[in-house]
Amino acid sequence: MDKGIYCLVFFTRGCTARIGAVGEIAFAAGWYIYIGSALGSGGLRRLERHIGLAGKRDRRPKWHVDYILTDNRFLLKYAVSALTEHRLECGLARSLGGIGIAGFGCSDCSCATHLFYRDKDPLSGITDKFHDLDLEPVVQRLITRKR
């Protein structure tokens, strides 16, 4: 099974959304980068699951990122992934840094967050950080439709 690391990149015009136990969060208009790992038994099928969930309001969220994936106010624009068997998601989160949503997607590590805000499309910055980690990024451009 292919294992790896990934980023999901969303765009929103701004909203307030409830994110599970984290609670109500005000999201500014712009771009959001979620960093995740796919090192478990399913490997990068986790990324496929996330992409398949995008925009499906009838699905019950399981993880923090699912609340964004199933909220039509967030458009999943693309995913960036790379093959690795090493735990690199926290290092990538620290490296990307910037304004983040406290406590988002990091309940299994000591990071402050795994969701970061950008006011401009962050693709080149993300691929640069993957290269800095000696990873070859694969970009999947996505078109999510409101349902």
Q: Is residue 146 part of a domain?
A: no
Q: Would 119 be classed as within a structural domain?
A: yes
Give the rounded percent of residues in the chain with a pLDDT score beyond 90.
60
Q: What is the pLDDT of residues 10-47, one digit of tens each?
A: 999 999 999 988 889 999 999 999 999 989 888 888 88
- pLDDT at residue 58 greater than cutoff 80: no
Query: 114 lies in a domain?
Result: yes
- Is 38 inside any structural domain? yes
Minimum mean pLDDT among 12-21, 102-111, 128-137: which range?
102-111
Residue 34 in any domain: the answer is yes
Average pLDDT across the chain, whole number: 89
Per mean pLDDT, which range of 15-24, 80-89, 107-116, 133-142 is the poorest?
A: 107-116
The candidate with the shortest Cα–Cα distance to 66, out of 130, 125, 118, 22, is 22
Is pTM beyond 0.75? Reply is: yes
How confident is the model at residue 50, as a pLDDT? 85
144 confidence band (pLDDT: 50, 70, 90) = low
Residue 147 lies in a domain: no
How many residues comprise the chain? Answer: 147
- Classify residue 31: in a domain, yes or no: yes
Residue-range definition of the domain harbouring residue 113:
4-141
| CA 141 – CA 74 distance, rounded (Å) | 15
Identify the pLDDT of residue 134.
95
- How many folded domains does the chain comprise? 1
Residues 6+ positions from 115 with CB-CB distance below 8 Å: 32, 33, 34, 35, 64, 65, 100, 101, 104, 105
